[in-house]
Amino acid sequence: MPIMILGLSCTDMADLLRLLLRVGEKAANVARLCRQEAPLFQLLVQEKTGEDKNKKFVQDFKTLADVVIQEMIRHDVRVQFPEMAGFIHGEESNMFENGLGESVTVTVCTTEEETAKLLATVLDGDQTAASLLARAIHQDPATIEVSTDSLTIPLKPSELGIWIDPIDATSQYIKGREEVLEEGRLFPSGLHCALVLIGVYLRSTGEPVMGVINQPFNNKDPADRGWRGKHYWGVSCGNINICSESRPQNRSEGQQGLSVVLSSSEKQAVKEALTSVCGPDKLIYASGAGHKILCVIQGLADAYVLSEGSTFKWDSCAPHALLRALGGGVVDLAMSLQQSDSGAQDPSTELTYHLPHTDRKGAERWANHGGLVAYRDSSQLLSIIGALKGKL
Q: Kindly list the catalytic residues.
A: 66, 91, 165, 167-168, 170, 315
| Closest CA relative to residue 308, chosen from 375, 365, 263 | 263
| Closest CA relative to residue 322, chosen from 200, 159, 156, 192 | 200
SS3 call for 238: coil
Q: Burial-class residue 322 by CB neighbours within 10 Å (0-12, 13-18, 19+).
A: buried
Strands 95-97 and 283-285: unpaired
Strands, DSSP E only, in the chain? 88-90, 95-97, 103-105, 160-168, 195-202, 208-220, 227-237, 240-243, 260-262, 283-285, 303-306, 329-332, 372-375
Strands, DSSP E only, in 135-259? 160-168, 195-202, 208-220, 227-237, 240-243
The single-letter code of the amino acid at 180 is V
| Closest CA relative to residue 284, chosen from 304, 260, 305 | 260
CA angle 89, 203, 75 (to 5 degrees): 35
Q: How far from 38 is each of 35, 82, 321, CA to CA, in Å?
A: 7, 37, 37
